[in-house]
C-alpha cells in the first residue's frame, strides 16, 4: 500500500482514491478499506516513524497442551496492521524462542534492533510472571501493550511495569496504526497513556469494521505450531487459526466471548466468504481452528464456506466452535463432513434445565440429546464444554456431568468452574446471591457449601468418572479412525511416554512446592 501511495506522490483526497468502479472483488474492497483507514489516520508515507517493531508474545514455560498449539492470533493481526507503516516487523513468540526467554538476552536484542516494542498480554494465567518479565525489558524503547488481559488490567499494568508507555484497550488494529502514524495521543480513542506523571484514558474506540481488517500475515512466523505437552510432540500435524467472524448474537450470561474486555458487545459481523477462502489458501498448516465464537451462527454462510472449501480443493482438518443448534441443519453437516470438518467444540455448559436457564444458554437438556442423536451419525470428534459450581448447583447435579456426557456420546469433555470476569453479566447475580462469592475478577465462584477444596474433589470425580479406561481407548481409536492422528504419531507417542511421565511428575512437584 505504501508503494501505491508513493506512486501517487501528491496530497490524496479520499473520494479520488476510492473512485473504483470495479469493487466487486474482495481484494479490491480490502485494498480500499486499508487505504481509507491509513489516509484517515493521517498517514504520511514519506515519514516512517519506527524502523523496526517487535511484536512480542511474552508467554512461555510449563503450560497445558492447548496453549502451545496455536499462534498468537491477536498479536499477528497487530503485526499485519503495522507491516506497511513501519520499516520492519519481527514477531517473537517466546514459547518457541528459548534463547530469548532470558530477559537479559531479549533486552540486548531489543536495544540493538528495536525502536517500537508491542507486547500482547492476553491470558489470565501466568499474568504475574508476564508482568515480571515485561518490566525487565529496556525502558528507553517505546513500549505499547495490548490484549484481552491488558485491557482488563490497565491501571495495574501501568503501576507494575514502569516501562509501559501506553496500553491499547480492546481490538487494536486501527489504534496501533494511529499510534505509529503520529496521530496525537489525545485524539486516539481506545488509548491509555502516561502524561505528566499520571495516566490518561481516552474514550472507548468504536469496534473496527471486520471487512477492513487485514488478515494475519503468516509470512512473519519463524516456525510452525504443533501439539506439544511437557516438551513431547504428539502429532506430525501443524496447527493454525482463522477468524471468519467476530462476535456472537447470543447472550449467555456467563460468557464474555463476544464482549471485548471493555464490556463493549461485539455485534456479530462476518467477513466475505471469498476473503476467508483467500486467507485459507495462504495457510500451510494441516489443522485449522476456525476461532469464531460459533462457526454456524449463519448456517447459510457456513454452507457456502463449506462449498467453497470443497470447490477450491482446500484439504485441511478443520476444528470449529459450535452451538448444538447446528444439528438442525443436516445439509450443512453433510457438507462440513465433506469439506474436512473433523472436530466440533460444543458449548453445552450443563445437563440441567434449571442451570441452563440460569445461564441464559437458550437450550434444554432434551434439545442437547436430540442434537447429539444427529451429530453422532457423522464422523466428527465431539468435544463438550461444561461449567460446574453454578449458583445453587448441588454436588449430585455436578456429578451428573460425566454420566450425561456419556449418555449423549461425547468423545471428550472439559469442565470448568464458574468464573467471573469484570464485565460478565453474571457478576451481579453472584453478588446478590447470599453465600456465594468470588475472590478476584477472572477468578472462580465459590460458596459457603462448595469452597476450593470441595470443588476440587468434585472436579477429580467428574474427571475420573468420564475418563475411565474404556473412554480413553475409545478416544485413541476414534482420533486414529477419523485421521486426527496417524499410526506413526501413535507409535512415536508410545515411545515418548516416559518423557511425558517425567514432565507430568515435574509439574506436579512444582505445584506442590
Residues contributing to the site for ligand B12 (CB under 6 A): 66-67, 70-71, 73-75, 77-78, 118-120, 122-124, 144-149, 168, 171-173, 176, 241, 243, 256-258, 291, 293, 416
* CA-atom Rg of the chain in angstroms: 24
For the chain, first and last CA: distance in Å?
Answer: 54
Give the separation between CA 380 and CA 399, rounded to whole angstroms: 26
Please name the residue that has the C-alpha cell 463493549.
Answer: 264
Residue 149: name its binding partner from ligand B12, ligand SF4, none (Cβ under 5 to 8 Å by kind): ligand B12
Which residue in the set 97, 173, 279, 293 belongs to the binding site for ligand SF4 (CB under 6 A)? 293
| Closest CB 442 distance from ligand B12, rounded Å | 6
| Closest CB 450 distance from ligand SF4, rounded Å | 23
**For residues 56 and 117, is the Cβ–Cβ distance under 8 A?**
yes
| Closest CB 69 distance from ligand SF4, rounded Å | 20
b/e burial code for range 26-41 (CB count within 10 A of at least 16 → b): beebbbbbbbebbbeb
Which residue in the set 147, 172, 208, 347 belongs to the binding site for ligand SF4 (CB under 6 A)? 347
By rule CB under 6 A, what string of x and - marks binding of each residue 294-333 to ligand SF4?
x----------------------------x----------
Minimum CB distance to ligand B12 smaller for 123 or for 310: 123
Give the separation between CA 406 and CA 120, rounded to whole angstroms: 39
Q: Which of 186, 191, 193, 164 is nearest to 176 (CA)?
A: 191
Please name the residue that has the C-alpha cell 496530497.
Answer: 11
Could you count the other beta carbons within 10 Å of the beta carbon of residue 413?
Answer: 22
Minimum CB distance to ligand B12 smaller for 152 or for 489: 152
Residue 172: name its binding partner from ligand B12, ligand SF4, none (Cβ under 5 to 8 Å by kind): ligand B12
Give the separation between CA 163 and CA 492, rounded to whole angstroms: 45
Residue 75: name its binding partner from ligand B12, ligand SF4, none (Cβ under 5 to 8 Å by kind): ligand B12
Minimum CB distance to ligand B12 smaller for 33 or for 119: 119
Minimum CB distance to ligand SF4 smaller for 132 or for 360: 360
Residue 70: name its binding partner from ligand SF4, ligand B12, none (Cβ under 5 to 8 Å by kind): ligand B12
**For residues 54 and 92, is the Cβ–Cβ distance under 8 A?**
yes
Residue 45: name its binding partner from ligand B12, ligand SF4, none (Cβ under 5 to 8 Å by kind): none
Residue 333: name its binding partner from ligand SF4, ligand B12, none (Cβ under 5 to 8 Å by kind): none
| Closest CB 16 distance from ligand B12, rounded Å | 30
Q: Which of 39, 220, 223 is nearest to 118 (CA)?
A: 220
Please name the residue that has the C-alpha cell 451429530.
Answer: 375
Q: Which of 411, 323, 412 is nearest to 360 (CA)?
A: 323
Contact between 344 and ligand SF4 (CB under 6 A)? no
| Closest CB 391 distance from ligand SF4, rounded Å | 17
Minimum CB distance to ligand SF4 smaller for 258 or for 264: 258
| Closest CB 294 distance from ligand SF4, rounded Å | 5
Contacts of 237 by beta carbon, 8 Å cutoff, 6+ apart: 226, 227, 285, 286, 287, 317, 484, 485
DSSP codes, 62-89: S--HHHHHS--HHHHHHHHHHTTTSSEE
- Contacting ligand SF4 within 228-267 (CB under 6 A): 248, 250-252, 255, 257-258
Q: Which residues contact ligand SF4 (rule: CB under 6 A)?
A: 248, 250-252, 255, 257-258, 293-294, 323, 347
Amino acid at each position: 500500500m505504501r508503494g501505491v501511495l508513493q506512486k501517487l506522490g501528491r496530497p490524496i483526497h479520499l473520494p479520488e482514491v476510492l473512485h473504483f468502479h470495479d469493487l466487486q472483488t474482495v481484494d479490491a474492497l480490502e485494498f480500499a478499506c486499508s487505504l481509507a483507514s491509513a489516509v484517515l489516520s493521517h498517514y504520511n508515507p514519506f515519514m516512517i516513524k519506527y524502523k523496526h517493531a517487535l511484536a512480542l508474545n511474552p508467554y512461555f514455560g510449563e503450560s497445558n497442551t492447548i496453549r502451545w498449539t496455536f499462534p498468537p492470533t491477536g498479536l499477528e493481526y497487530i503485526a499485519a496492521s503495522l507491516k506497511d507503516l513501519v520499516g520492519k516487523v519481527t514477531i517473537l513468540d517466546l514459547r518457541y524462542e528459548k534463547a530469548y526467554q532470558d530477559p537479559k538476552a531479549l533486552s540486548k536484542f531489543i536495544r540493538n534492533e528495536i525502536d517500537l516494542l508491542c507486547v500482547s498480554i492476553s491470558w489470565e494465567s501466568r499474568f504475574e510472571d508476564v508482568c515480571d518479565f515485561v518490566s525487565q525489558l529496556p525502558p528507553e524503547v517505546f513500549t505499547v501493550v495490548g490484549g484481552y488481559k491488558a485491557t482488563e488490567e490497565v491501571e495495574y499494568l501501568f503501576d507494575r511495569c514502569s516501562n509501559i508507555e501506553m496500553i491499547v484497550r480492546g481490538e487494536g488494529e486501527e489504534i496501533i496504526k494511529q499510534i505509529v502514524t503520529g496521530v496525537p495521543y489525545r485524539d486516539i480513542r481506545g488509548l491509555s497513556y502516561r502524561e505528566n506523571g499520571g495516566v490518561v484514558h481516552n474514550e472507548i474506540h468504536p469496534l473496527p469494521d471486520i471487512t477492513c481488517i487485514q488478515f494475519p500475515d503468516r509470512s512473519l512466523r519463524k516456525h510452525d505450531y504443533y501439539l506439544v505437552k511437557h516438551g513431547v510432540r504428539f502429532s506430525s500435524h501443524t496447527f493454525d487459526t482463522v477468524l471468519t467472524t467476530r462476535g456472537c448474537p447470543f447472550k449467555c450470561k456467563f460468557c464474555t466471548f463476544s464482549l471485548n474486555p471493555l464490556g463493549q458487545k461485539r455485534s456479530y459481523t462476518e467477513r466475505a466468504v471469498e476473503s476467508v477462502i483467500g486467507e485459507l489458501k495462504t495457510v500451510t498448516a494441516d489443522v485449522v481452528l476456525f476461532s469464531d465464537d460459533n462457526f454456524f451462527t449463519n448456517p447459510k454462510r457456513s454452507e457456502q464456506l463449506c462449498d467453497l472449501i470443497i470447490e477450491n480443493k482446500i484439504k485441511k482438518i478443520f476444528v470449529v466452535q459450535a452451538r448444538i443448534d447446528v444439528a438442525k441443519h443436516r445439509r450443512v453437516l453433510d457438507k462440513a463432513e465433506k469439506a474436512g470438518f473433523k472436530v466440533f467444540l460444543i458449548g453445552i455448559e450443563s445437563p440441567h434445565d434449571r442451570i441452563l436457564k440460569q445461564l441464559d444458554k437458550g437450550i434444554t437438556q432434551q434439545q442437547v440429546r436430540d442434537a447429539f442423536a444427529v451429530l453422532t451419525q457423522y464422523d466428527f470428534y465431539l468435544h463438550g464444554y461444561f461449567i460446574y459450581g453454578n449458583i445453587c448447583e448441588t454436588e449430585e447435579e455436578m456429578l451428573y456431568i460425566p454420566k450425561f456426557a456419556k449418555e449423549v456420546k461425547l468423545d471428550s469433555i472439559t469442565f470448568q468452574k464458574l468464573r467471573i470476569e469484570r464485565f460478565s453479566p453474571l457478576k451481579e447475580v453472584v453478588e446478590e446471591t447470599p453465600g456465594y462469592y468470588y475472590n478476584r475478577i477472572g477468578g472462580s465462584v465459590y460458596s459457603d457449601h462448595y469452597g476450593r477444596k470441595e470443588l476440587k474433589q468434585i472436579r477429580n470425580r467428574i474427571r475420573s468418572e468420564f475418563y475411565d479406561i474404556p473412554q480413553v481407548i475409545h478416544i485413541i481409536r476414534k482420533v486414529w479412525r477419523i485421521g486426527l492422528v496417524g499410526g506413526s504419531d501413535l507409535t512415536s507417542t508410545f515411545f515418548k511416554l516416559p518423557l511425558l511421565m517425567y514432565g507430568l511428575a515435574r509439574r506436579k512437584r512444582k505445584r506442590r512446592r
